Amino acid sequence: MPEGPEIRRTADRLAEAVVGERLVSAWFAFPELKKFETRLTGCVIESITPHGKALLTRFDNGWTLYSHNQLYGVWRITDAGQRPDTGRSLRVALETAHSAVLLYSASDVAMWRSDDLHAHPFLARLGPDVLDPALDETAVAGRLRDPRFAGRSLGGLLLDQGFLAGMGNYLRSEVLFAARLRPARRPRDLDARELAALARELLAVPRHSYATRGIAPAGGMRADYLTDTPDAFRFLVFGREGEPCPVCGTRIARREAGARRLYLCPRCQH
């Protein structure tokens, strides 16, 4: 499943293509949303923003399209009137005079009154977005000390969207490595230095990933794993089982935590 940085970059690309534009047509595959095809036609797309792993597309008529890609959903951008050659199932099509944004294969799609979004059952459970520029280390440290979270192992906590929205599996491994902490540790057992390091890396790692990951490198490597800039985000432990730790040379180990794979350095992380 895409994590916060990937969802935010998707939102950026979609917004660049259609925000501020008036809809020429709207189409939904879901019968319960068909009534919105006429309601949205002629409306202006005001914004496309993420909250954690959900996308919120706001229209100037007071309605917002909520969508969650889950495992298989993907957005595509095309010229107006064009549809890519794909075996995926089209779920949503929003078209302006110049561009179309198309959602394929997703099933978690709904229309909500913009003023009522706070009551959406998924959004209402989310913690602060880890990529929200207003979120700072003090606020993150406060959440780590919160009784709701302080007694939980970090391996599970860092996947809980109610703690920080937008975190995910690769971010979890990389944050814990950067903070030099084992996944079995709990926030309430960390000393002040460890807690401050974790709060710092919970912001720094996702933000670095958002800023640099996904740039296509020379040589055709997968764009979601490498970039060609010197300061680019690269996996230091995630997916590197058996390879040497970039800090101490110890072989990276793989564990299962929260029913998901997690990678760590047995020597550097305590």
Catalytic residues: 2-3, 53, 260
Output phi, psi for 145, to 5 deg. -85, -10
255 DSSP assignment: E
Mode of pairing for the β-strands spanning 54-59 and 99-104: unpaired
- Structure-token pair, residue 219: 């040589």
Cβ contact 137:205 at 8 Å: no
Cα 165 from chain centroid (whole Å): 8
Could you tell me the end-to-end alpha-carbon distance of the chain, in angstroms, rounded to an integer? Answer: 28
Output phi, psi for 195, to 5 deg. -65, -40
Cβ contact 188:151 at 8 Å: yes
- B/e letters for 149-162, b = 16+ CB within 10 Å, e = fewer, are bbeebbbbbbbbbe
Classify residue 123 by burial, with Cβ atoms within 10 Å: 0-12, 13-18, 19+.
middle
Q: Which of 109, 115, 111 is nearest to 38 (CA)?
A: 111
The residues, any chain, with a CB within 8 Å of residue 173's CB and separated by 6 or more, are 235, 237, 238, 262, 263, 264
